Amino acid sequence: MDLNFLSNFNNYLLNNDFFKIENNISDNDIYFKNIGSNGYLIVPMVKDNISYKDYFNVIEENCSSILKKFNLNKIFLVKLLISENFLEDDIHFLSSELDLDNKVVNIVWGVDLSNKNILVKSNQPTKFLDIEKYIKYSLNEDFNSVKIKKQNYIISKNTYFTYSLIFILLLIHMVIAMSPVFDKNYIIYNYGISPTLFKDKEYYRLITFLFLHSGLTHLISNLLSLYIFGTRIEKYLGKTAFLLIFIIGGFSSGIFSILFTKTYSIGASGAIFALESATLYFSIKEKIKLDGLDYYTIAIFSIIGILASFTSPNIDNAGHIGGFLMGIIVCFLYYNLYYKKFINK
């Protein structure tokens, strides 16, 4: 029974973004994942001749190296004592105090194989990170054939589309800057978003304004953000998602600008805000870091970007917000209608 439970439990954890870490203490598997600045360590232990108390203590002592390695603020250490027969001493062990102020927070549960339930004392949480569900499913169902979630999230092996777009934006800006014919005002009033765009039927402006920038600082800041978020969307969601989010987010940015700003505007900022919000949505849904960026960091980027829009003059705030909202919408639709089916194949 214990092997069957451990096999099922293993599958559930791997299917929910945990991964096994090296265990030099024993042959028991240890599972870990981190979300933001917190780490989650799951340690199942079948009660046998080995002293489980000593084993759990050694694991707890080694948490300091995990805190340092992953630069974490706190580790939640879930100790699972698995047995078909719990003695009085075992029950006393399960009554450990929960101290949320510690760097290592101990959550101690018993897995009763005989009665197929979880033993949780009153001073311990009854639910935590859905672990209780994985235990119950593993006790009551045979999931030896459960399908392990695809762990390789990378869809596109290269990010040529992002780099190509960076090159195009840079090239257009250089051509305009070096041309004796064009100046900034000419470009803005002839190819930027216009308050009368729909009235004048100048729909081409919904595309052209995305490729124009008012100055080198404007361009460089956009190219940097495009690199950070564009490469991650293209890599983890694919080239189709990258194009859809950039283009539709850009359209939305232009339309919001027309509706709420009612002035001329240029720049790819709104479309890039769409890529940023899509990155945020995806990282939250999948609970993974995207090349070192977790959703806490991306959220901070987003908040700072939006606030900066309101503190600087001549910034198209409405366009930024329109792009940001559309990025979430497009990513939501793409994620639920296509991505989940693709990743689960």
Fold of 160-343: Rhomboid-like fold (1.20.1540)
Angle (CA) 160 163 168, round 5°: 120
- What is the mean predicted confidence (pLDDT) over 75-96? 92
pLDDT band of residue 17 (cuts 50, 70, 90) is confident
pLDDT digits (tens, 9 = 90+) for 284-304: 888 777 887 888 889 998 888
The 3 state secondary structure assigned to the chain is CHHHHHHHHHHHHHCCCCEEECCCCCCCCEEEEEECCEEEEEEEEECCCCCHHHHHHHHHHCHHHHHHHCCCCEEEEEEEEEECCCCHHHHHHHCCCCCCCCCEEEEEEEEECCCCEEECCCCCCCCCCCHHHHHHHHHHCCCCCCCCCCCCCCCCCCCHHHHHHHHHHHHHHHHHHHCCCCCHHHHHHHHCECCCHHHHCCCCHHHHHHHCCCCHHHHHHHHHHHHHHHHHHHHHCCHHHHHHHHHHHHHHHHHHHHHHHCCCECCCHHHHHHHHHHHHHHHHHHCCCECCECHHHHHHHHHHHHHHHHHCCCCCHHHHHHHHHHHHHHHHHHHHHHHHHHHCC
pLDDT band of residue 2 (cuts 50, 70, 90) is low
pLDDT digits (tens, 9 = 90+) for 194-230: 999 999 999 999 999 999 998 899 999 999 999 999 9
pLDDT digits (tens, 9 = 90+) for 145-172: 444 444 457 788 899 999 999 999 999 9
pLDDT band of residue 262 (cuts 50, 70, 90) is confident
The pLDDT of residue 281 is 95
Residue ranges of domains in the chain: 2-140, 160-343
The pLDDT of residue 333 is 95
